Amino acid sequence: MGLQATRGGRWLPAFAGMTAVLLGTPAAAVPIAITNATVMDGAGHSVDNATIVVDGGRIRTVGPGPAPVGATVIDGTGRTVTPGLVVGMSDLGLDEVGGVREANDTRAAKSPFSAALDVVPALNGRDSQIAVARAGGVTRAVVAPEAGRDIFAGQGALIALREGLDIVTRGRAFQLVELGEAGAENAGGSRTASFTAFRNALVEAQRLGRGRDAGNKENLYPRADSEALVAVVDGRESLVVHVERASDIVGVLALKADFPRLRLILFGAREGWTVADRIAAAHVPVITSGLDDLPDAFETLASTRSNVGRMVAAGVVVGIGTSGGESTNQPRNVTQFAGNLVAQGRLPGGVGLTRDQALSLITRNPAEIFGMADTGTIAPGKRADLVVWDGDPLELTSAPVAVLIDGVAQPVTSRQTELRDRYRDLTRGPLPPQYRP
C-alpha cells in the first residue's frame, strides 16, 4: 500500500501529496497523525497499529486510537516508524569533498590555535552530504573537527538536518582531543608526550578558571585555547577523547581522579571490550563504529565485531558514529552498522545485540550522550523527529518514505536522486540531458 496523507478528509496521492501539504509548513499550523503503523520507540518497546499525534513540533500522544479531527493523516499501514537517526560523530556540513582542500573544513593543520577552534562558522547547511544523510533517515548529528598540529581538535557542534542554512542546534557542544598513535605523533612522538601535554593543558585551564593565572608567561597553550578548556575542566562542556588501545582507555579514565568534573566520552575504543568493566564502573559512555574489526594498527590489535556487544553486556552506554575506515562520509550507513551488530550474535562465539538495543545505539543513546534528551525516542513531549520506513529499518533494502524534523516533513531527495532522475530517460531532445530545465 502506498503511503497516503489526508487533510480534512481529502485523500492525496502517495508521499508526493504529503510533501505538498507538509513541506515547509510551520510545525504549529496543523496537527499530524501517523496511523496504523508499527512503532519502534528507540527505548526498547514496539507497538503495532499505533497512532502518533504530532502538534507544535512535539509528539503529543503515542498509542491506539483515531487521528484528531482536522489533522493531516499519514497512513502508515505496513510501515515502521522510528525516531530520527542520531549519528554520534560525523563531519556533516564540514566536508563537501574530502579530497578537495577548499571544500574541506574538518582540519586546521596550520592554525596557531587548537582547543579554541569552533566548527560553527564553517558549517554549511547546503552541503550535499546532509541531503544524502537526511534521505537515509538521519535527523540529528554530532559534528566533530579533526586534530591538526596539536592533540586538541577544537569544539564540535550538534546539528539538525533540516532543509536550509539554519542547522546548528548547539555550538561548542564538546571538545575533541586526539590521543593514541595520532595524538602521540602530534605531541612530539610518543604517548608520554601526548599524555603530558594533555594533563598540562587541563592544569593551565584549571588555573585560569580559578583566577590564578595572571599573566603567567610559562603557559604552553595560547590564552584562547586555555579559555576554551575552562568549560571542560569545570564540567560545563563534554570532553570527547579519541583512543583505541585498552591501556590508553585506562589512562584516560584515571584522569577523573585529578579532574573530577570532567564529562568524558570515549570515541573509537576498539579495544574497549577488554576493559569494559572499568568503562562501565566509571560511567563513561562510548561512541564507536559497528564494523571496524581489523587489527590495522598496533593500537587496534584486539579489534572484534563483538566489541559493541561485549561493552553493552558489561553495562557501557554505547552510541554509533562514523569514525574513519568504512564510509566516514556516509552517516546514513549507521542502520547497516546496527543491523550487523544484531547479526553478530548469530555467529559462533559472537556477541551481538537485540534489534531494540541496536536501534537505541543510533537513536536514544547518542542523543542522551550529547545532551539531546528531548529527542532520540518516540514518547509524548519529545521532539517530533520521526522516520517512516518502507520495511525493517535495520535491513539494507529498506528506505525512508518520510522524514520529519521538529514535526516538519523534510525532502528525501538529494543530488544523487536528482542525477538519477535526470538521466533515467535518455530520449533525445533538442538539448542534452544536462541542459534540461
Closest CA to 127 of 331, 337, 422, 386: 331
d(CA 282, CA 341): 24
Q: Which residues of the chain have pLDDT under 70?
A: 1-28, 213-217, 323-329, 433-434, 436-437
Cβ–Cβ < 8 Å for 81, 40: yes
Burial class (CB in 10 A: 0-12, 13-18, 19+), 212: exposed
Q: Are 434 and 152 in contact (CB under 8 A)?
A: no
Q: What integer pLDDT is reported at residue 27 of this predicted model?
A: 45
> At 112, phi and psi to the nearest 5?
-75, -10
Residue 106: partners with Cβ closer than 8 Å, 6 or more residues away: 91, 94, 95, 145, 146
CA separation for the pair 199, 241 (Å, rounded):
13
What domains appear along the chain, each with residue ranges and CATH number?
4-83+382-412 (2.30.40.10), 85-369 (3.20.20.140)
What are 262's three cell numbers? 570532567
The pLDDT of residue 102 is 82
Position 16 scores a pLDDT of: 42
Helix residue ranges, H only, 72-222? 128-135, 180-187, 191-209
pTM of the model: 0.90
Rounded to the nearest 5 degrees, what angle is found at the Cα of 226, between the Cα atoms of 223 and 229?
155
Nearest to 367 by CA among 235, 170, 172, 175: 170
Count other Cβ atoms within 10 Å, centred on residue 188.
Answer: 12
Instruction: Report which DSSP code applies to 4.
Output: E
DSSP string, 13-78: -HHHHHHHHHTT--TTSS-EEEEEEEEE-SSS-EEEEEEEEEETTEEEEEESSPPPTT-EEEE-TT
Amino acid at 357: Q
